[in-house]
Amino acid sequence: MSAGAAKLIALTAVWALLAAAPFWAPLVGGYTALGARVLVLALAAMSVNFLLGFAGVLSFGHAAYFGLGAYGAGFALKFLAPSTPLSLLCGTLLGGIAGALLGLLIVRRRGVYFAMVTIAFGQVLYYIAFQWSSLTGGDDGLRGFARQPLDLGFAKIDILGDETAFYYFVLLCFALVVAVMGFILRSPFGRAMIAIRENERRARFLGLAVERHIWIAFTLSCFFAGFAGALYALVNNFADPRGLHYSQSGDFVMMAVMGGMRNFWGPLLGAAVFVVVQDYLSSVTVNWMSFIGLLFVLVVLFFPRGLLGFIRRRAPA
Amino acid sequence: MSQAEAAFGAGGKKSPAPILKVDSVSKRFGSLVAVRDVSLAVDRGELRAIIGPNGAGKTTFFNLLSGFFPPTSGRIAFEGRDVTTISAHRRVRLGMARTFQITEIFPELSVQDNLRIGAEIAAGYALRAWINRAERTAVQRRVDELLDLAGLAAKAKRLVGELAHGDQRVVEIATALTLQPRLLLLDEPTAGMGDQETYAMTKLIRQLHRRGDLAIILIEHDMRVVFHLADMVSVLDQGKLLAEGAPAAIAANAAVQAAYLGEAA
């Protein structure tokens, strides 16, 4: 019961910190938009970790669905209608459906082969986005759209000009998706995912249709990544082919592993460290990635369960 | 399906139709014939032991029965239904469960979570994101039942990976039982066990067998276990079925003795 209480306190603290970010972030040299970036990239890293940490399936190409989500949101705002919810929906659908289709082809692959095919597919999309300038803006990225005020019927919320209002919008989106993920992982479906991670052969010989299960988990994870990508387009008012690139996928995996992939909240911590270190260092040196790389190596060597795994082990009770 | 019925005699519903009927099954790996033209019928509720020297093809034969891979030729029918080309997880759902020579469990989960996952899959909840209170209670009841049956109640909350080898083997059998199979395949259930654990395992298998309608096929090297448990013994040697019969007859069989002595020499 005390372990449950400790968990509840930790959870409350996390949400309180996130909710109060616009107030404390400037005091420590941060800014609200940085907070929104952390949340969005954390969501993407959590979508990777949904698969990696709980089904044991490594996708090294989740940037593909993240990037598609961003383009989907951009296209919707630019060509369909000036609506923020619609853009999120379109981005999520584009990323998720692409993932569902690719998933059908690759669920029988495992381990390195699975990772390789996901990378390859992501790179195909990257080059398409890069080359198809007339639609995507090519290397310059997709511009000419902006997130729209939220129309609640009785009130309009300006999330374009008001950074704090936008942060809370992102936090709300983050909370909703994270709640869905948590709900799924606690369900029989989630336990069967963990069964696959723990021992695929045993799961199969308990009568589980392993391939179908991985396909559904992969598809869900791509919907989450697509949603994160769509939010990212709203953060930047911009979609970029680099959002599809495998190095972006690598960043997501790094955030998940650095934060602790066996832990639901690990990727959030990983993303926070990653984004903050990147933000501070990139104003000092162009070689900021070497420092992140070094940090990553140190974490993997000394805290194999990630930063959060380390904290949890040190914490009493 | 109709072909299978013709081949395996669907008419015999009332007569003791075998629960498992294997019809001249072979498995070839390149030039190696691991299982050669083996036929066998196991009755409902029978306890059959498969013995044979190392490399006789026993585990390969199990892999064919459980759908780990398909046979090169021949047919397998379970409860009158041709399952030769049916995938492993669907065979399990039809009522054929198995354990492995090297224990296959979920080591980082507790004993009760191992069983819960099995019970939820068996109940068809694996794709559900939500189960209601009644369903959850039913799953828990099934888990408790199996914990009692396997004598694991005191260890329910322990991580399986931390248990002694013998207990891990018992957990694997208990998870296989979550599906309420009518045929249980046990691949060397007492492998790597000391005398005491072997005795306890033998007792458990006998108890499972007596409980009801469960047919068990086990691969076993320990002849004490075989002669203590088995109704019938099949002997494999170099992929072929060398002999089949009651334990006493097998013990007296000259060809069987030669196969074992040949291995020893």
DSSP code string of B116-142? HHHHHHHTT-TT-S---HHHHHHHHHH
Nearest CA in chain B to A214: B127
Which of B92, B108, B125 comes nearest A198 by C-beta? B108
Pairing state between β A156-157 and B47-51: unpaired
Which of A198, A199, A205 comes nearest B92 by C-beta? A205
Whether the CB of B136 is below 8 Å from some CB of chain A: the reply is: no
CA neighbours closer than 13 Å in the CB half-sphere of residue B55 = 6
- pLDDT tens digits for B11-49? 444 456 899 999 999 999 988 999 999 999 999 989 999
Q: Where are the beta strands (DSSP E) in chain A?
A: 150-151, 156-157
Q: What is the mean pLDDT of residues A80-96?
A: 93
Distance in angstroms (rounded) separating the CA atoms of residues B142 and A246:
46
Picking from A107, A108, A202 by the largest number of B CB atoms within 10 A of its own CB, the best residue to mutate is A202
> Token match 């828990």: residue?
B140
Q: What is the mean pLDDT of residues A297-306?
A: 88
pLDDT for the residue numbered B232: 92
Distance in angstroms (rounded) separating the CA atoms of residues A227 and A70:
8
Cβ-Cβ contacts under 8 Å for A103 (sequence gap 6 or more): A214, A215, A218, A219, A222
Residue A317 reports pLDDT greater than 60: no
A198–B120: do the CB atoms touch at under 8 Å? no
pLDDT, mean over chain B:
88
pLDDT for the residue numbered B212: 73
A chain contacts of residue B122, beta-carbon cutoff 8 Å: 206-207
B chain contacts of residue A184, beta-carbon cutoff 8 Å: 129
Structure tokens at B10: 């669907």
Domain with CATH 3.40.50.300 in chain B: 2-95+181-264
Pairing state between β B96-98 and B183-187: parallel
- pLDDT tens digits for A16-36? 999 988 888 888 888 888 999
User: What's the pTM?
Assistant: 0.89
Q: Which CATH number fits domain B2-95+181-264: 3.30.565.10, 2.30.38.10, 3.40.50.150, 3.40.50.300?
A: 3.40.50.300
B chain contacts of residue A192, beta-carbon cutoff 8 Å: 117, 120-121, 126
Structural domain spans, chain A: 28-241
Distance in angstroms (rounded) separating the CA atoms of residues B91 and B83:
7
- pLDDT tens digits for B190-239? 988 889 999 999 999 999 988 878 999 999 988 888 988 999 999 999 88
The whole-angstrom distance between B207's CA and the closest CA on chain A is 22
Q: Report which secondary-structure segment, H or E, holds B22.
A: strand B18-29
